[in-house]
Amino acid sequence: MELLVNDLSINGQFPDIPSFLQAIDNVMDMRVKARQFGQEMYCHRNLAYAQVTKEQNMRQAFQSLAHAKRSVLVQWLTQHGPYWEDERTHDPGDYLECNDQVVTDTAIGEAAFRRFNGSDYRLVSLLPSSWEYSPLSVWWRLEGGDDRNIEVANHTTAEELEAALRIASPPITSWNNLADVARERFPSLTFSGDAFDPFRGHPFVPGAALRIIERLEILEKMKGCFDASGERTQEGQRLYQEYFTGENAWFSDSSDPEKHDFKSALTFKHPGKAGETLFCSMHGKVKTPQIRVHFSWPISKDAALYIVYVGPKITKR
């Protein structure tokens, strides 16, 4: 489960600063509860400048807080995050709509887009606001009228969030745990026995583990997107365009200079053929920290999709 603060639930609706501070206390209670279950709460970098009353934004409102509480909030919202836009998946051109309102470029839009692709993303909203109900029904308006709809859970109290956290999938707690979860969750992928060994000696990063799972999820889906003749299906083509092309693609090939300079490092033992090797320059990317998932390419209907390396970026200069 991933939690995003609903930025649309802060739009100058509070009559005074005390009312807003009570609402933000509720959000902080939910953040504490999420952390108790090993989860982070993601916000947008601009959230600290959201209008909370007609006259004041959030940072101005924080000035009335005691130093310790103000420091915690400022560090979360303006310094450390985490920020959902750092790993944003939907584009400005994706027309997302909720309650007759365009939600592209918002946490609602991002959470919905993630859910369209199989990830458990949810929202946290401030009270009172226009977003006090759950779930939120989000539409992805597509060309040709082939619109898609999905529901996004929206949490507003710590008690209700705790109940949801208790029944959600347990968080991944180590790199070894990540390896076990990946092998169990993605039966269409063939992992080499030492695929996750590069993480040995590196501190565990929960957020990075979740990003890795998301990338493996797309590869799992791609492996199943072929018709009887072995051609990529319409859904497979959509996934390819969404995640393998463009400036913010999750997957890409190494450059020609990298293939030359790191040829040995990008050559792996073949998981299915003893004594043979695989050159795997195609990779999935995680930005923070820089992690790569190297796999066999191209993906086809009948050939195994090998995951040969999951760990720190190989082609660092």
Q: Is the pTM of this model over 0.85?
A: no
DSSP state of 16: S
Residues in CB range of 120: below 8 A, 6 or more apart: 1, 2, 168, 169
State the pLDDT at residue 75. 94
Residue 74's H or E segment, with its range, is helix 67-74
Residues of the chain with pLDDT under 70: none
pLDDT of residue 171: 82
The two tokens of residue 119 are 């990830």
Say if strands 95-98 and 101-102 run parallel, antiparallel, or are unpaired: antiparallel
Predicted local confidence at residue 57, as pLDDT: 95
Q: What is the pLDDT of residues 30-61, one digit of tens each?
A: 999 998 887 899 999 999 999 999 999 999 99
Residue (of 8, 35, 14) closest to 152 by Cα position:
8
Q: Tell me the CA distances in angstroms from 12 to 74, 202, 220, one per residue in order.
A: 19, 44, 43
pLDDT at 213: 93
Residue 247: its pLDDT value, please?
83
Q: Which amino acid is at 24?
A: I
| Residue 200 in tokens | 């040995």
The pLDDT score that the predictor gives to residue 168 is 83
pLDDT tens for each residue of 296-307? 999 999 999 999
Domain locations along the chain: 2-167, 175-312
pLDDT value, residue 313: 96
Q: With contact defined as beta carbons under 8 Å apart, do 117 and 218 qualify?
A: yes
Instruction: Residue 35: name the closest of 74, 64, 76, 96 by CA.
Output: 76
